[in-house]
Structure 1
């Protein structure tokens, strides 16, 4: 609910300040939910908001790219186009539904033989989802503009949490409303999408070294930015590094994109980290760092970097990843204004 209040609204509250950089506070950014309206306000509406459109899109692909993450791809209606900056997000309307039965309503061929074993192992196909009223969810887009009039999302299934060990089974907590709906969709289905939204965008003109750090489904906006900087803009005068962390090789995806970029662009470097030693990766000869992404960037790159404070950092992933990385960068003296991130739960 961030908004730029140019006149009115009073002074920014202490509870708002942690959400903004010093420059943003100076530029009159506020949290709309904390700004009391007692008179006329003058606000600045981003131009991007005026370009938001809604479409009925057609699902063209919905395959798993890891055990529990789908690459969900839709096509805009013929003749329609979305102007967006890589790193933006889209919204999808989730209709009310009585019941989505994972076993009956999820296409197991779309999950894939490679991944269905994990679903059976944890008895996830026994779950059901219910949604009594329509809602909307936001997901970062993994596609970049030159890929055409499509929207690509990476969506992790939000299952019911497991009971604490040694108990077996699931807690009495609802499954994810949106992810269950998206996982049930098949090519040819229609969905309501809107966009673009957001301001998690690269700085195209600073000339600084760019470092992306992500994990899990946080891959989406980082892929969009990196592919645009390389494939579209053909950036060769800036050092580009991407650090991506996953639990295992089978949980990492879009890897071929970045391996190809390394061959094509000498200034682009991809750093894969896996939580622990991975026999599959070892057998395939895949190069990786054993440990978490923040340790990878520390041990293999920034600890010997001459000026980490002169780089730009783009982060996307679970809250713990964002916190550990930002804490580490802060210890190096990196200005918060040089750290951009897209945080999700």
Structure 2
């Protein structure tokens, strides 16, 4: 953002980005060397985003209110699904990936209703994929701005270590805050990961390793953001445990 500019917002909020008409060739993207192999393997450089009409998309912010002068987003590029390989790539993700330092972007907001309750109840955060963004905003806000004494845990699911990010930051938070724990589950760990942690889907890992023996899960507040399949599985599990709707908070970016 320009020097001196700031966007006042609450943790868990989102902004809208205006995507202008554009023609973006993926062949022009500067892909880091560690990911070029995958791009070549799946022939991603062949895609072109050709958009005739402006559009808007909403993105949750990953920064928390004291990280001023920036807007931090987690954007996963949306390539066509395997069953429809000739479909156009994602409009907004293609545009965002094409941006370079110094480019001007039109945003509106902040907006939102995915806010933390002002209670002392235990907080359980559950995330997957690009659903990391509001999780980071909330947890950093609780621990670094509010200096919360609430019991807080974060359960995050990824396919492999290559999909992990911010993990060093959360591990540092856990070292600095005895009331916070960070847990990762990989659903498809790769041989090179040398993974010895939790494996499987995050809702199963959360249940088997924590909620099954929790004395009162119905008294916890659950905050989640992830793919629709993950959200549905977590909500079903929580309902089965007797958690009321008022204690299930969902940032439904996939809905």
Query: By how many angstroms is 1:187 displaced?
Result: 1.2
Give the match for residue 193 of structure 2. 281
Answer yes or no: is 1:324 the counterpart of 2:233: yes
Mapped contact 1:262–1:268 kept (Cα < 8 A): yes
Answer yes or no: is 1:78 the counterpart of 2:28: no
Give the match for residue 88 of structure 1. 13
1:172 to 86, 98, 102: 86
Question: How do residues 113-152 of structure 1 correspond to structure 2 at under 5 angstroms?
Answer: 113-152=33-72
Structure 1 stretches (4+) deviating beyond 4 angstroms?
Answer: none
Answer yes or no: is 1:291 the counterpart of 2:200: yes
Structure 1: tracts of 5 or more residues without a match: 1-74, 164-169
Query: By how many angstroms is 1:287 displaced?
Result: 5.4
TM-score when scaled to structure 1?
Answer: 0.72
Measured in 1, the distance between the counterparts of 2:177 and 2:125 equals 16
Measured in 2, the distance between the counterparts of 1:287 and 1:200 equals 33
Query: By how many angstroms is 1:233 displaced?
Result: 1.2
Give the match for residue 247 of structure 1. 159
Question: How do residues 9-88 of structure 1 correspond to structure 2 at under 5 angstroms?
Answer: 75=1, 77-88=2-13
Measured in 2, the distance between the counterparts of 1:147 and 1:81 equals 9
**CA-atom RMSD, angstroms?**
1.3
Question: How do residues 156-235 of structure 1 correspond to structure 2 at under 5 angstroms?
Answer: 156-163=76-83, 171-203=85-117, 205-235=118-148
Measured in 1, the distance between the counterparts of 2:148 and 2:40 equals 44
Query: By how many angstroms is 1:277 displaced?
Result: 3.9
Mapped contact 2:7–2:68 kept (Cα < 8 A): no
Mapped contact 1:89–1:195 kept (Cα < 8 A): yes
Aligned length in residues: 254
Larger Rg: 1
Query: By how many angstroms is 1:288 displaced?
Result: 2.4
Query: By how many angstroms is 1:264 displaced?
Result: 0.2
User: Higher strand fraction: Structure 1 or Structure 2?
Assistant: 1
Give the match for residue 73 of structure 2. 153
Measured in 2, the distance between the counterparts of 1:220 and 1:210 equals 17
Larger relative contact order, structure 1 or 2 (CA cutoff 8 Å, min sep 6)? 2
| 1:314 alignment partner, SS class | strand
Measured in 1, the distance between the counterparts of 2:221 and 2:193 equals 30
User: Could you give the per-residue CA deviations for residues 296-330 of structure 1, whole angstroms, max 9, x where no partner exists?
Assistant: 10011000000000000000011111100000000
Query: By how many angstroms is 1:249 displaced?
Result: 0.6
Measured in 2, the distance between the counterparts of 1:142 and 1:208 equals 23
Measured in 2, the distance between the counterparts of 1:161 and 1:331 equals 33
Query: By how many angstroms is 1:278 displaced?
Result: 3.8
User: Could you give the per-residue CA deviations for residues 215-255 of structure 1, whole angstroms, max 9, x where no partner exists?
Assistant: 0000000100000101111112x110000000001101110
Query: By how many angstroms is 1:149 displaced?
Result: 1.4
Mapped contact 2:161–2:189 kept (Cα < 8 A): no
Query: By how many angstroms is 1:213 displaced?
Result: 0.2
Query: By how many angstroms is 1:281 displaced?
Result: 3.3
| 2:154 alignment partner, SS class | strand
Query: By how many angstroms is 1:171 displaced?
Result: 2.3
Mapped contact 1:107–1:184 kept (Cα < 8 A): no
